[in-house]
Amino acid sequence: MRYLGLIPLLMLLLCGAARASVPSQPTLVVAIVVDQYSADLFSEYRALYKDGLATLARGVVFPRGYQSHAGTETCPGHSTILTGMRPAHTGIISNEWLDPRRSRQEGGAQTFSWPCVKELDEHGVLVVSPKTLLVPTLGDRLRALDSNSRTVAIAGKDRAAVVLGGKAAYLTLWWVPGKGFVTYANATVDAGMQGKVDGVNRKVETAYQSAQPPKLPKQCEARTRAVAIGDKHSVGEVHEIAAKSERWRATPVLDTLTLEMAKAAIDTLQLGKRKAVDVLAVSFSATDYVGHYFGTEGPEMCAQQFALDATIKDLLSHLNRTGVSYVVALTADHGGLDIPERNSVRGMPAANRLEASLSPDKVGEEVAKEFHLSGSVLLGSYFANDVFLAPSIESKLRPAILDAVRRRYAGDAQVARVFMRDELLTAEPPSGPPDQWTLFERAKASFNPQRSGDLVVLLKPS
């Protein structure tokens, strides 16, 4: 599925202080991210929200917000939220990019893979790290001003927690299947908090070992309609989800457990109650997994929206009970399109999944044949916007090969535009209203000279 960039919304609410006659300065900034929560979803369900999302919707709402950069994925999207910078500056150009200058061995094979929040440690082992984030987060800035300030970032995904928290976060926690919520290998967690983490993780483990029963709110029933994906699989009907399965993540329980961990951190670390401004960043991941596995317009997403509404209510109620004056914002890292199979049923004949022939290894092999070379002229096998020419290609051949790759991608019906590294490198940064930016300007907002590819390939939305 391709992400749609034109979407995340922002809701802001001043709580605690807002109820007092003389508002006090907030001592806690709460940033909630709902992964893949498009403004389309918000508009669709807004009238049905009764709990936390209804409360936030009574604050300041920007219902047609969107991400203006090109690579609207989880890691770059989250990197923009608490830094105020686009991926060109955060350096987080995609969920995973390749670094042709840093080859390494994995499982006996040479690879250049470089996930967005991972670095090699001194033993050559890939570990989760905030080092790839090139700019400070809000928490980093507060910490630089006041060493007493604490930032806590908690998410269902490592990349979400890491780039929301930043390098100076007091505590960064993310969920790992079978392990529960974990932090950096070299992090120190104070004993009281570690005890709480262990306690929540026992609940996480019990839940992960349990099948998730189907729950379908009455308002979602009319959405039930099976849609086939290939010969063996269908979505559109809510079923029990097996314990320890990949789809376990696509049930509300992942958000519920993320919330449990956030509540434990709020209480144990006394967020907002010390002489400093603290930051709590929580990214709820289940909406994204529901979108990926089941699409955005079925009963599965409907059930998730009701569960999310309750989860946000639980978080706000907990914050209110602390008596802390806090400001809360809710936004998304990117949006999402419905599955092409259902879009097709609904009269969008162009809706389709990405052709496997567009993967860089396939295109790279095609072009290699043109030049009588063996193997692939491109790195990697997973399609991402950034496409890298193999470092082994000799320099005198590179311009002609790059042009052949450009023509191959540009001529494909699923490709919107292809841009060359050199044209992006020399272009002025975009300015003016971002909603009027061209695809080239959006690509420039995602272009980082040290990390971006030799070509940037942007797909058509479908």
Contact residues: Zn ion, CB under 5 A: 35, 74, 288, 333
Min separation Cβ 17 and Zn ion, Å: 31
Residue corresponding to tokens 């955060």: 90
Look at residue 303 and give its three-state secondary structure: helix
Min separation Cβ 288 and Zn ion, Å: 5
CB 99 within 8 A of CB 91: no
Write down the catalytic residue from 27, 55, 72, 74: 74
CB 79 within 8 A of CB 87: yes
Pairing of strands 28-34, 278-284: parallel
Min separation Cβ 151 and Zn ion, Å: 20
Pick from 135, 62, 54: which is nearest to 310 by CA? 54
Nearer to Zn ion, 330 or 401 (CB): 330
For residue 391, the tally of other CB atoms under 10 A from its CB is 12
Radius of gyration (Cα) for the chain, nearest Å? 23
- Distance of CA 191 to CAs 145, 188, 195, 219, 325, Å? 26, 9, 6, 45, 27
Cα–Cα distance for residue pair 447/91, rounded to 1 Å: 8
Min separation Cβ 402 and Zn ion, Å: 30
Helix residue spans in 106-250 (DSSP H): 138-145, 158-165, 191-208
Min separation Cβ 36 and Zn ion, Å: 5
Taking the chain, what is the end-to-end CA distance rounded to the nearest angstrom? Answer: 9
Element (H, E) at 341: helix 340-345
Residue corresponding to tokens 């391709």: 2
Nearer to Zn ion, 164 or 443 (CB): 164
Pick from 278, 276, 285, 283: which is nearest to 319 by CA? 278
Nearer to Zn ion, 288 or 309 (CB): 288
Cα–Cα distance for residue pair 380/232, rounded to 1 Å: 29
**Is residue 83 flagged as an active site residue?**
no
Min separation Cβ 396 and Zn ion, Å: 41
Nearer to Zn ion, 278 or 288 (CB): 288
Min separation Cβ 33 and Zn ion, Å: 8
Cα–Cα distance for residue pair 331/313, rounded to 1 Å: 16
Min separation Cβ 178 and Zn ion, Å: 22
Cα–Cα distance for residue pair 386/86, rounded to 1 Å: 16
Cα–Cα distance for residue pair 190/11, rounded to 1 Å: 33
Min separation Cβ 72 and Zn ion, Å: 9
Cα–Cα distance for residue pair 378/363, rounded to 1 Å: 8
CB 112 within 8 A of CB 126: no
Helix residue spans in 60-145 (DSSP H): 74-81, 87-90, 138-145
Look at residue 176 and give its three-state secondary structure: strand
Residue nearest to Zn ion (CB): 74
Cα–Cα distance for residue pair 93/232, rounded to 1 Å: 35
Q: Tokens representing 104?
A: 């390494």
Q: Burial letters for 288-312: b for 16+ Cβ neighbours within 10 Å, e otherwise? A: bbbbbbbbbbbbbbbbbbbbbbbbb
Mind telling me the catalytic residues? 74
